[in-house]
Chain A
Amino acid sequence: MNELLPQPEHDHFRAKAAASEHPRELIIDLLRAIQEHHGWVPDEGVELTAEILGLSPLQVEEIATFYDKIFRRPVGRKVIHYCDSICCWATGGEQVAAHLQQKLGIGPGETTADGAFTLLPSCCLGACGDAPAMMIELKLYGRLTPEKIDAALEKEKD
C-alpha cells in the first residue's frame, strides 16, 4: 500500500501519455490507478500524475478535487457510499444513513476506529430502481432494510 504505483503500470501510463495527443485525458485513469494501489491519492500521487502527463500539479488537483470518488485523504479499508439523492430519500434513505451511522458509530466523512469502513454520502448511485441503495467499494446493495445493512456490513468486514 505504500507504493504509489507499481513499475509496470508506471511504464504503461508513460507510454500511453507519450502516444496521446491530449495526455490530460489520462488524469482520472492515473489517479484511479494510484488510488487502487495506495488506497487514496496523497499529494505525491498528484505530483506523480502531473509529472507523468507533463502537466502542473495544479492541473491534476483541479480534477482530483472535482470528483468525490477520488480520495485526497486517507480512507478506511472499504468505503461505503450511501445515496442521499431524491429516490433513495423518498424510500427511506434518511433511515439508512442513520442506521449506518449508529451501527458504525461514525458520522458521514468519518472512518471507524478499526479502519474498516469510511462512510460517505453520495449523490445518486444510478440505482433508483433499487432505492434506497448503498455501495461498498464497487458492490451495490439495494432495497435496504436495517437487517440487510447489518448483513452487508458483516459480510464486507475483513
Chain B
Amino acid sequence: MPTLTIDNQTVTVPDGTNVLEAAQQLGIVIPHFCYHEALGAVGSCRLCAMKFEQGPVKGIEMACMVQAQDGMVVSTVDAEAQELRAAVIEWLMLNHPHDCPVCDEGGECQLQDMTIAGGHGIRRYRGKKRTWINQDLGPFIEQEMNRCIQCYRCVRTYRDYCGGDDFGVMGSRNRVFFGRFKEGKLESPFSGNLADVCPTGVFTDKTCRFRSRSWDLQEAASICPHCSLGCSVIPGARYRELQRVRSGINRQTNGFFICDRGRFGYGHVNHPERPRTPKLQGADAAWPEALQLARRRLTDIAAKVGPEAIALLGSPRASLESLALLHDWAKQLGGARFCGDPQPGRDRAARQLTALLGSRARSLEDVRRSDCLLLVGSDPLNEAPLLGLAVRQAARRGARVIVIDPRPVELPCNFQRLSTGPEELPQRLEHLVSTTEPTDDLSTLRTLLHQAERPILCGGGDLLGEVGIRQLAAAADHFGTGLFVTLGGPNSYGAALLSGDGPDADQLCEEMLAGKIRALVCLENDPLADGPQRMARALGKLEFLLILDHAPNRLSRQADVFLPTTTVAEGSGTLVNNEGRMLSFSTVFNPGIPLGISSEGGHPPRSFSPTTAGGEPRPAWAVLAQLRGENQSPEMIRRKLEGRDSRFAGLSLLDPDGEGQRVRGGGHPAGSHDQSFPHPAPEGSLPLLVVEQLFGSEQLASLSPALDAVQPDPQVLLHPETAAARGLKEGDTIALHTELETFSLQLKLNAAMTPGLLLATRLRDTPLELFAPGSPTPCLVGKGGGDA
C-alpha cells in the first residue's frame, strides 16, 4: 500500500495502482483518452503527463504508465506538464472537424471536456484536414471517421475485450482508419459498446441518431430486463419515447459493457401496439370501472368457491415489489394459488437453484477472475451474452474453459468442447463426480477442477433443468467450486424465492382443467406464449381472467379485464438476478404515447388536456395495491417484505447506483413433480431441442424494431452425419412432426453439434415459440412440406 503525494495531498492506494488512478481517488482529474478502467493503460494518447518531483521516478511522465510508489511527490499543475498537455491536445485536435453542432456526441463528448481541461481553447492550425469516406457498419453503429483522434479505445474494446475480429485499425501514421475490411454489419454481439467507449463522435448509436441532445434526455440508473444477469444500464428518454440505452457501471455484474440485445432491445417500450388503456373483454374502459369489476369478480369467486379457486401467476419480468404484493395477496385472499413463473421448466430450475446456491454463489466479476470455468448446458452468447464476455476475460488471464453442451456453442475465446446429448447432461455430471472411471474423457477435467484455485461451474437453467442443477450443485460441492447458473428472466430468482414449494404452472393448468381453479390473474406474462402447452385449453375453462401487462399480449382482447402496466424504464423497483443479487432500478420517464407516434412526425398536437395521451399504464405494484384496496408505495412494500421475510433484509436501503446486495438465505425446490405419462418416442424420431438465441427469442427484445434487421431466419440444425443417414442435405425444407404441431423449416448442417439431435431456435411469432426452451421433444422428420 504505497503512500504518495499528489498536488500536496497525500493518498494511500493499493499495490499496482497507477498514478492516474491515485490522482482520481483524490478527485484530481487529468485529461486522458487511452486509459479506461476496464481496458487498462497503454500510454498512447500522451495526455496524462504529470511532473514527478521527488521519489523513484523523476521528470515528466505519463501518469497512467507509472505505478504508484512510496515517497512519490507528483504535481499535475506544474507549468511544464501543463504546457505539454496543451500541446498534445492541440496535436490531437489538428484534424478534428468543427462539427460539434451536428454531432450526436455533443454534450457528452469526452474530447470536448478534455480539450478544454487540457488548456487548448483556440485553434491555430489552418491547414487542410484529412478526411475519410465512412463505412456502413450495419443497423447499430454510425461511423464518422473524420472526428477520430486515434485513441484506439474502439479496437481495444472490440478486439481485445470483446473478442471480435471483423473490426480493427488499418493504415499507419496520420492516416489510420478504424473500421471493417469491407462495409457491413459489425458481427460482434457487443458492437454497441463502441458508442460508449469512443470518447468523441466517431462511433455513435445509429438507432437514436439525430434524435436528441444528451442534456435533453431523461436518464436514470436502471437494470436491463432482457436476461437474468441484471446488467446495469442507463436508458434515455425524450418526448415520452425511450430513445437509447447505454451501459451503466456495476463492477460486480456487467462491469462497463452490455450486449447488443440489452442496448437495442428497448423498442418494446415505444411499441405502437402496446396496450395503454384498461380493457373489459377487449373494449376500452376506465380504470375505476375495470378495477372495481376485477375486484368484485375475484371476491365473488373466492366467496362462492373458495380462495383456492383463484390462481395468481407472476412472471420473471415482474419486479420483486409487484411479485411480493401478488404473493401476499394470495395469503390475504385466504389461500389463493401463487406461482411466480408461467414456464414450469424454468420455474422449477430457478427454485432448485435458489435452494442450492447458498455460499456457492458467484458474480460475473468472480467469473472474470476465475482460473477454470466449466460450462454445462450453457450457451452464453445466446442465453446471457455478458457471461460470454466474462468468460473471455477469464480466458485472457489464462483460465481454462471447458464446455459440455449438445449445441454448437461459440465463445469469444479458446475453449475445449465436450459434446453430449441434451438428456445426458445430468449423467455427464454424475460421471464427473464419480471416482470409479478414472480414464474416461472427463479425467483431465477432474484434474483441472481439483488443481484450480478459483474454479466456477457455469450452467444454463434451460438445458440443465431442475435435475441438472441439482447435479451441477453436487459437482460444485464435490470439487469445492463456485456456481453460476443463468435463468430465464431478469427476476426469475426473485419469483422462485417467493414461489417456494408452491404449485408450478403445470399444476395450475391441471387444476384449471379440472375446474378447481376458476379465476386466473396473470402479472406481466403471456401464458399462451410462455406457459405450459395445455394452457390454451385450460384458459377456456376459466370463469374469469385478469391480465396485467405492458407488452402486446395475446390475451389482452380475450381477458375479462386487462390492466396496462409500466415497463422497467417507467417505474422503480427491484429485480433479483441469477446469483440472487437484489438490484434496484429507478424511474427514467413517465409513460405516454411517444410524440413521434401521436403527432406522426409533425408538430405535437395543439389540443390541450389535463392528462397525458397514453399515460394510463400504472406500475404493476400500484395496480395490485389498488386491486387489494390499499394505498401503497414501493418503499412501503419493500419495508414490509424485508420485515416479514429476512431473506430480503437490506432491500429498502438499496441504491440504484450501487452494486446491489445478495439475498440472505435460499428458497425451496418445487414440490415433487408427478411425471405424467412420459410418451414413448415414436420409432425413427429424433429429439427436437428448441433453444434461445441472442436475437428473436427473448420476448421484449423481439418487439424492438431496431433488432428487426438482425432477426434470424427460422431454421433447424442437424449434424452432417445424421442428415446423411436420412438422406437430407443442407438447404432442404424438412417437415417436422411433433405432438404439438407440424411445421417445416429449412435445414442447416453443423458439424460442431451433437449427432442425433434436431436443434432449432425459439423464435417469437413462429411455431417454435410454443416449445419450452431446453427440453427436448420427440420429432419425426419428413421431406418437404409447407411454409414454416
Nearest chain B CB to A24 CB, angstrom units = 12
Min CB gap A35→B, angstroms: 17
A95 at interface, CB cutoff 8 A: no
Q: A43-B182, A58-B181 are in contact. Are A65 and B171 (CB under 8 A)?
A: yes
- CB pair B171 A66 closer than 8 Å: yes
Query: Are the C-beta atoms of A58 and B167 separated by less than 8 Å?
Result: yes
B166 at the interface (CB under 8 A from A): yes
A61 within 8 A of B: yes
> Looking at chain B, what size class is its interface with the partner chain?
10 to 19
Partner of B170, one of A43, A56, A62: A62
- Asked if B166 contacts A65 (CB within 8 A), the reply is no
| A58 and B180 form a contact (CB under 8 A) | yes
Beta-carbon contact of A65 and B172 below 8 Å: yes
Contact with B along A46-89 (1 / 0, CB 8 A): 10000000011111011001111000000000000000000000
- Closest Cβ neighbor of A55 among chain B residues: B165
- Given contacts A43-B182, A46-B181, A61-B181, are A56 and B165 in contact (CB under 8 A)? yes
Which residues of chain B come closer than 8 Å to A67, judged between CB atoms?
172
Would A57 and B181 count as touching, CB distance under 8 A? Answer: yes
User: Which residues on the B side are within 8 Å of A62 (C-beta)?
Assistant: 168-170
Residues of chain A within 8 A of B172, CB atoms compared: 65-68
* Apart from A43-B182, A58-B166: 14 A-B pairs, beta carbons within 8 A: A56-B166, A57-B181, A57-B182, A58-B167, A58-B170, A58-B180, A58-B181, A61-B168, A62-B169, A62-B170, A65-B170, A65-B172, A66-B171, A67-B172
Give chain B nearest CB distance to A58 CB in angstroms.
Answer: 4
State the interface size on chain A (CB cutoff 8 A): 13
Contact yes or no, B181 A56, CB < 8 A: yes
Chain B residues closer than 8 Å to A56, beta-carbon distance:
165-166, 181
Min C-beta distance of A117 to chain B, whole Å: 24
User: Residue on A with the closest CB to B171?
Assistant: A65
B168: which A residues are within 8 A, CB to CB? 58-59, 61-62
A46 vs B181: C-alpha distance when bound (angstroms): 9
Expressed in whole angstroms, the Cα–Cα distance for A115 and B376 within the complex equals 62
A89 to B171 alpha-carbon distance, docked (Å): 25
The closest CB in chain B to the CB of A68 belongs to B172
How many inter-chain residue pairs (CB < 8 Å) link A and B? Answer: 32
CB-defined interface of B674-709 with A at 8 Å, one 1/0 digit per residue? 000000000000000000000000000000000000
Q: Which residue of B lies closest to A56 (CB)?
A: B165
Nearest CB of chain A from residue B675's CB, rounded to whole Å? 47
Q: Which residues of A contact B180 (CB under 8 A)?
A: 58
Chain A to chain B contacts (Cβ below 8 Å), 21 pairs: A56-B165, A56-B166, A56-B181, A57-B181, A57-B182, A58-B165, A58-B167, A58-B168, A58-B180, A59-B165, A59-B168, A61-B168, A61-B170, A62-B169, A62-B170, A65-B172, A66-B170, A66-B171, A66-B172, A67-B172, A68-B172
Most buried by A among B165, B168, B181: B181
List 3 tightest A-B contacts by C-beta distance, closest first: A57-B181, A56-B165, A65-B170
Select the residue from B166, B169, B170, B172 with max chain A CB neighbours within 10 A: B170
Rounded to whole angstroms, the CA-CA distance of A66 and B168 in the bound complex is: 12
- Which positions in B face A, CB cutoff 8 Å? 165-172, 177, 180-182
Chain A nearest Cβ from B167, distance in angstroms: 7
Q: Chain A binding site: helix, strand, loop or mixed by DSSP? A: helix
- A72 (CB) vs chain B CBs: closest residue: B170
CB-CB < 8 A to B170: which residues of A? Answer: 58, 61-62, 65-66
Return A27 CB to nearest CB of chain B, in Å.
13
A34 to B658, CA, bound (A): 56
Residue of A nearest to B187 (CB): A56
A65 → chain B closest CB, angstroms: 4
Inter-chain CA distance A62–B177, complex, in Å, is 10
Compute how far the CA of A46 lies from the CA of B169 in the bound complex, rounded to whole angstroms.
Answer: 15
Q: Which residue of B lies closest to A66 (CB)?
A: B172
Shortest Cβ gap from B136 to chain A (Å): 15
Q: In the complex, what distance in Å separates the CA atom of A62 from the CA atom of B167? A: 10
Interface string of A19-51 (1 = CB under 8 A from B): 000000000000000000000000100100000
- The closest CB in chain B to the CB of A123 belongs to B173
Chain B residues with CB below 8 A from A55, complex form: 165
Query: Which residues on B sit within 8 Å (CB–CB) of A58?
Result: 165-168, 170, 180-181
Bound-state Cα–Cα, A59 to B169, Å: 9
**Given the complex, which residues of A lie within 8 Å of B165, measured CB to CB?**
55-56, 58-59
- In Å, the complex CA distance between A59 and B165 comes to 7
- On chain B, the residues within 8 Å of A57 by CB distance are 181-182
In the assembled complex, the Cα of A18 lies from the Cα of B480 at a distance in Å of 40
User: In the complex, how many angstroms separate the beta carbon of B504 from the nearest chain A beta carbon?
Assistant: 46
Bound complex: CA A66 to CA B165 (Å): 17
The distance from the CB of A152 to the nearest CB of chain B, in whole angstroms, is 29
B165, closest chain A residue (CB):
A56
CA distance A79 to B171 in the complex (A): 20
Distance between A59 CB and nearest chain B CB, rounded to angstroms: 6
Residue among A46, A55, A62, A65 with the highest chain B CB neighbour number at 10 A: A62
Closest residue of chain B to A67 (Cβ to Cβ) is B172
Complex formed: what's the CA distance from A43 to B180 in Å? 13
Which residue of chain B has its CB nearest to the CB of A63?
Answer: B170
Report the Cα distance A68→B171, complex, angstroms: 9
Taken together as a complex, chains A and B put the C-alpha atoms of A65 and B169 apart, in Å, by 9
Cβ of B184 to closest chain A Cβ, rounded Å: 11
Which residue of chain B has its CB nearest to the CB of A46? B181
List of B residues within 8 angstroms of A68 by Cβ? 172
| Cβ–Cβ < 8 Å partners of A59 in chain B | 165, 168
User: In the complex, A31→B187 CA distance in Å?
Assistant: 25
Q: How far is the CB of B187 from chain A (nearest CB, A)?
A: 9
CA distance A67 to B173 in the complex (A): 11
A57 CA / B179 CA spacing, docked (Å): 12
**B166 CB contacts on chain A under 8 angstroms:** 56, 58
Determine the chain B residues whose CB is within 8 A of the CB of A46 once the complex forms: 181
What distance in Å separates the Cβ of B141 from its nearest Cβ neighbour in chain A? 15
Q: Which residue of A lies closest to B179 (CB)?
A: A58
Chain A residues 81-102 with CB under 8 Å of chain B are none
- In the assembled complex, the CB of B137 is this many whole angstroms from the nearest CB of chain A, namely 12
Q: How far is the CA of A65 from the CA of B168 in the complex (A)?
A: 12
Cα distance, A78 to B415, chains bound together (Å)? 48
Q: Whose C-beta in chain A lies nearest to the C-beta of B177?
A: A65
Minimum C-beta distance from A44 to chain B (A) = 12
Residue of chain B at shortest CB distance from A58: B181
Residue of B nearest to A57 (CB): B181
A94 to chain B, nearest CB (A): 20
Cβ distance A121 to chain B, nearest Cβ, rounded Å: 13
User: Could you tell me the distance between the alpha carbons of A154 and B213 in the complex, rounded to whole angstroms?
Assistant: 63
Q: Which A residues are in CB contact (< 8 Å) with B167?
A: 58
Max chain B Cβ within 10 angstroms of own Cβ: one of A58, A65, A66, A67: A58
A67 to B177, CA, bound (A): 14
> What's the Cα separation between A61 and B165 when bound, in Å?
12
Instruction: Report the bound CA distance from A68 to B177 in whole Å.
Output: 15
A61 contact set on B, CB distance < 8 A: 168, 170, 181
Chain A residue contacts of B181, Cβ below 8 A: 46, 56-58, 61
In the assembled complex, which residues on chain A have CB atoms less than 8 Å from the CB atom of B171? 65-66
Return B510 CB to nearest CB of chain A, in Å.
53
Q: Nearest chain B CB to A104's CB is how many angstroms away? A: 25
A59–B158 Cα distance when bound, in Å, is 13
Give the shortest distance, in Å, between B440 (CB) and chain A (any CB).
Answer: 29
Question: How far is the CB of B13 from the nearest CB of chain A, in Å?
Answer: 37
B660 smallest CB distance to A (angstroms): 37
Cα–Cα distance between A58 and B184 once the two chains are bound (Å): 12
Q: Which residue of A lies closest to B172 (CB)?
A: A66
Tell me, in angstroms, the Cα distance from A61 to B171 when the chains sit together.
Answer: 9
Q: How far is the CB of B410 from chain A (nearest CB, A)?
A: 14
CA distance A86 to B694 in the complex (A): 56
Q: How far is the CB of A119 from chain B (nearest CB, A)?
A: 19
Instruction: Tell me how far the C-beta of B529 lies from the nearest C-beta in chain A, rounded to whole angstroms.
Output: 38
Question: In the assembled complex, which residues on chain A have CB atoms less than 8 Å from the CB atom of B169?
Answer: 62
| Contacting residues, chain A, for B177 (C-beta < 8 A) | 65
Query: How far apart sit A79 and B190, CA to CA, in the bound complex (Å)?
Result: 43
A60 → chain B closest CB, angstroms = 8
Instruction: Tell me the minimal C-beta distance from B155 to chain A in angstroms.
Output: 9
Chain B: minimal CB distance from A131 (Å): 22
